[in-house]
Structure 1
Amino acid sequence: MTSSEKKLRVCLLQFAAQENVAKSMIHLEELVEKAVSQHQPHIIALPECFATEYNCEVSFLESVAETIKDGQICRTLSTLSKKFGVYIVGGSIAERDGDKFYNTATVWNRNGELIARHRKVHLCDIHYENGVDIVEVNRFSPGNDMTTFEVNGIKCGVAICYDGFFEEFIKMYTKAGCEVLFVPAAYERISVGPRSWEIVHRARASGNQFYVAAISPARDEKHKYVNYGYSMVVDPDGNIQAKAGIAEEILFYEMDLNIVHNFRKELPLFASRRLDVYNKMELRVCLLQFASQENVAKSMIHLKEMVERAVNQHQPHVIALSENFATECITDVPFLESVAETIEDGQICRTFSTLSKKFGVYIVGGSIVERDGDKMYNTSTVWNPNGELIARHRKVHLCDIHYENGVDIVEVNRFSPGNDMTTFEVNGIKCGVAICYDGFFEEFIKMYAKAGCEVLFIPAAYERISIGPRSWEIVHRARASENQFYVAAISSARDEKHNYVIYGHSMVVDPNGDIQAKAGIAEEILFYEMDLNVVHTVRKELPLFASRRLDVYKKQD
């Protein structure tokens, strides 16, 4: 899609819920078919709690809650998106996950596949003098992150209702590159609707210079909670370009994304921001310098204890582990065969998923021996606070190192190599993960900086006699300094009983190459709060990337 063709055709369905979910699904198909026939949209968006009336009573939630993918509403959304070849932002549903409920928006691509899920982050506890109460706390559980997806190369976000009141949260979508934000919402018609519907969404659009599509249910006076209505599309200048009434309606609008670029060029808000003045952009990290136990099962029990302690003591955003943290570092094929597991189904990965969800934290899972068919990989996994796998990095550079003192570190012909870098986001902060020997190769690590990373996690297992004393500090300090980002290098604890003795000294290096936090050799939780303003300041003061001479550099293979 060229810049002149950068359009997004959207239909907002101001939906009237029927007397039960089954009838709402029948009506939904009729409305989607009508929208597609009349407008040929790229994307259709629904409101918050669209399939039922808005009701947060626990007994009601119990009766309508469903699991993602398998529930009646999700199956319908999948079927309709595939049948009509359209993206669908599925408003929100009451999601059941174990013994918890979430107010959850799902996004489906034109193949009927679930591509994004947003759990409402900010839960209402609102009490107006006129007697209207909007209470979600202690009924729903909150989500812990923003949610983005792409439609035809256009980056979009989804937030739910009350999320839109919090400008710090919505700013994260802009930092992540969004040009459109969908906000399924259920504002009440007497209090919060007249007071806040227009101003909140216009403010979010103007302040972030992107389109906001705010989608309300139709108004139904028979319901105890009466929705406001007035679904609308707001342009990046904060002007309402399309607006529904209060009854059921299909609101169509064709967004011109060139307007986003023009507004941002004419009024360069982001270039004028004073990050040195605003509150710190921070990332709280705990590096677990872990002491593996006698077997994987006992290591998992110990991991739970250590993660719980890290969360209680430091409230981190991210917990990171070391290379091969759960076992002794051995690369003999029989040992690898005995501990290898598949991603997601293996014991270690199941534990990561459980712990990240239980404690509401991101986990960079060091590395494991991954089995994939007849191959094995040295693989790092990353898990979000919902317990979902969001990234997987297979070690790209495999060791074939032989020191004169007799220490051999051999991975070639035992592991298969990965073939790419790996990135993920935490609260709008772009992070990368590489494994141990990957960090020696500056051309490879430069790829992370080019991709916009501000933090690089490197689970590693340097040996204590040779490679550790020689290279641990200088390699990680060099990578941080030349790429002007934070490097978190995570080692296991030293255990002299092991055949391969780990160096230890996990550390955090800042974008100037200075060590800001460093562990000893024993098991330890190393905590550090990264100030991402430092990344921006260092890059502004010493503009290495702007000074690069790509016309001079030559490939030297």
Structure 2
Amino acid sequence: MRVSVIQMNQGSEKQANLDQARRLVDAAIASDRPGLVSLPETWTNLGGGRESRQAAAERLPAPGETGGAAYELLRGLARGHGIHVHGGSIIEAPGPGDDPEKLYNTTVVFDPEGREIARYRKIHMFDIVAPDGTGYRESALYGAGERLATFEAGGITFGCTICYDMRFAEQYVVLRRMGAEAILVPSNFTLQTGKDHWEPLLKARAIETQCWIIAAASTGQYLERGQPRSVYGHSLVADPWGHVVARASDGTGWATARIDPAITARVRRDMPVMEHRQARRIDLDAAARGA
């Protein structure tokens, strides 16, 4: 199965972002004929502050019902091209039972008939100070998800994560146990952290889970409350051995790779790490306490 990671330079104007996404997805499909395309994190909005994010947010419908502009664009792309579309993540407005003061950073996935087949809310909130002193506090605006998600496409089981999740290896191990053979990581990775951590972290997640890692990312600059910020880009696909087999160049565009289940099977057969994991029979937290 061929997959394409879409690399965008989105900003605070939602309609411009939708137009850019459509243009890049159409071009990637025309060029490389993937069976699945993946967009970056919050591709509908990057920058502009709280008001801009709230304006871009969409209340997600029950599967099968009509949604907002971004939701329907993703569904239309899937149905129109007859492929699976992994919608990176969009900004979700709170629904019934949610904290009304929070938005959610949410993935939706559509099959070739335009049916929603997966939905995942980002679990780990990016509350850090970057090396250049820039502060990020995602939890001030977004609520955290509570459930993992997988879906099947082309005979392959995909797991869903978003950006900062990649620093939490246990989430990826659980997705492997849930049957994942490939894990998606749509991201807006900062330039400061990306130049040192982006590729090593993604390779590590691939190696330890023996899964394909599919990471669509945003690139370039955007304005946050009038101040420029930069994201790293370098969208990539890594194989279960940790080799980067496709990488986007600088600027907007895409990269495409073929997901080969034979490679996955061979790596897992020759190094059966999941069978060797001692966490299945040892309480590692208790061991760390000396219990």
TM-score w.r.t. structure 2 length?
A: 0.89
Q: Give the corresponding residue for 1:436.
A: 163
Q: Give the corresponding residue for 2:64.
A: none
The aligned runs of 1:440-451 (5 Å cut-off) are: 440-451=167-178
The aligned runs of 1:10-49 (5 Å cut-off) are: none
Per-residue deviation, 1:496: 6.3
Letter in 2 for 1:552: I
Q: Give the corresponding residue for 2:74.
A: 352
Single out whichever of 542-551 and 390-399 deviates more from structure 2.
542-551
Per-residue deviation, 1:497: 6.2
Per-residue deviation, 1:326: 2.4
The aligned runs of 1:529-548 (5 Å cut-off) are: 529-548=258-277
Q: Give the corresponding residue for 1:299.
A: 17
Letter in 1 for 2:146: N
Tell me the SS of whatever aligns to 2:73: helix
Q: Give the corresponding residue for 2:113.
A: 386
Q: Give the corresponding residue for 2:53.
A: 336
Q: Give the corresponding residue for 1:515.
A: 244
Cα distance change, pair 531–404 in 1 and its aligned pair in 2 (3 A): closer
Does residue 281 of structure 2 align to residue 527 of structure 1? Answer: no
The aligned runs of 1:415-430 (5 Å cut-off) are: 415-430=142-157
Query: For residues 301 and 525 of structure 1, what CA distance do their matches in structure 2 show?
Result: 16
RMSD over equivalenced CA pairs, Å = 1.7
Does residue 47 of structure 2 align to residue 318 of structure 1? Answer: no
Query: For residues 235 and 20 of structure 2, what CA distance do their matches in structure 1 show?
Result: 19
Which structure has the greater CA radius of gyration? Answer: 1
Higher relative contact order (CA 8 A, sep 6+): 2
Query: For residues 236 and 25 of structure 2, what CA distance do their matches in structure 1 show?
Result: 18
Cα distance change, pair 545–294 in 1 and its aligned pair in 2 (3 A): closer
Query: For residues 455 and 340 of structure 1, what CA distance do their matches in structure 2 show?
Result: 28
Tell me the SS of whatever aligns to 1:324: coil
Query: For residues 138 and 166 of structure 2, what CA distance do their matches in structure 1 show?
Result: 16
Please say if residues 328 and 500 of structure 1, whose CA atoms lie closer than 8 Å, have aligned partners that are also in contact: no
List structure 1 runs of 4+ shifted beyond 3 angstroms.
Answer: none
Q: Give the corresponding residue for 2:6.
A: 288
Query: For residues 306 and 402 of structure 1, what CA distance do their matches in structure 2 show?
Result: 32
Q: Give the corresponding residue for 1:459.
A: 186
Query: For residues 329 and 362 of structure 1, what CA distance do their matches in structure 2 show?
Result: 28
Does residue 281 of structure 2 align to residue 551 of structure 1? Answer: yes
Tell me the SS of whatever aligns to 1:302: helix
Please say if residues 180 and 211 of structure 2, whose CA atoms lie closer than 8 Å, have aligned partners that are also in contact: yes
Please say if residues 11 and 47 of structure 2, whose CA atoms lie closer than 8 Å, have aligned partners that are also in contact: no
Cα distance change, pair 502–403 in 1 and its aligned pair in 2 (3 A): closer
Query: For residues 311 and 291 of structure 1, what CA distance do their matches in structure 2 show?
Result: 19
Q: Alignment partner for residue 203 of structure 2, among 477, 482, 494? A: 477
Letter in 2 for 1:515: V
Q: Give the corresponding residue for 1:468.
A: 194
Letter in 1 for 2:272: P
Per-residue deviation, 1:383: 0.8
Tell me the SS of whatever aligns to 2:213: strand
Tell me the SS of whatever aligns to 2:119: strand
State the Cα deviation string for residues 178-235 of structure 1 (Å, max 9, x = none).
xxxxxxxxxxxxxxxxxxxxxxxxxxxxxxxxxxxxxxxxxxxxxxxxxxxxxxxxxx
The aligned runs of 1:80-159 (5 Å cut-off) are: none
Letter in 2 for 1:394: R
Whichever structure has more helix as a proportion of its residues is 2
Please say if residues 44 and 91 of structure 2, whose CA atoms lie closer than 8 Å, have aligned partners that are also in contact: no
Query: For residues 444 and 357 of structure 1, what CA distance do their matches in structure 2 show?
Result: 31
State the Cα deviation string for residues 429-470 of structure 1 (Å, max 9, x = none).
100110001111011111110011100010011111x21112
Query: For residues 43 and 22 of structure 2, what CA distance do their matches in structure 1 show?
Result: 13
Letter in 1 for 2:58: E
The aligned runs of 1:229-240 (5 Å cut-off) are: none
Identity, in percent, stands at 28
Tell me the SS of whatever aligns to 1:500: strand
Please say if residues 284 and 530 of structure 1, whose CA atoms lie closer than 8 Å, have aligned partners that are also in contact: yes
Per-residue deviation, 1:304: 2.1
Query: For residues 12 and 41 of structure 2, what CA distance do their matches in structure 1 show?
Result: 17
Per-residue deviation, 1:518: 1.3
Tell me the SS of whatever aligns to 1:444: helix
Number of equivalent positions: 273
Per-residue deviation, 1:320: 0.2
Query: For residues 429 and 491 of structure 1, what CA distance do their matches in structure 2 show?
Result: 22
Per-residue deviation, 1:482: 0.3
Tell me the SS of whatever aligns to 2:189: coil
Q: Give the corresponding residue for 1:279.
A: none
Please say if residues 285 and 316 of structure 1, whose CA atoms lie closer than 8 Å, have aligned partners that are also in contact: yes
Cα distance change, pair 413–299 in 1 and its aligned pair in 2 (3 A): closer
Tell me the SS of whatever aligns to 1:501: strand
Cα distance change, pair 513–329 in 1 and its aligned pair in 2 (3 A): farther
Letter in 1 for 2:180: C
Per-residue deviation, 1:532: 1.4
Q: Give the corresponding residue for 1:251.
A: none
Query: For residues 414 and 322 of structure 1, what CA distance do their matches in structure 2 show?
Result: 19
Please say if residues 503 and 521 of structure 1, whose CA atoms lie closer than 8 Å, have aligned partners that are also in contact: no
- Unpaired runs of 5+ residues, structure 2, are 62-66
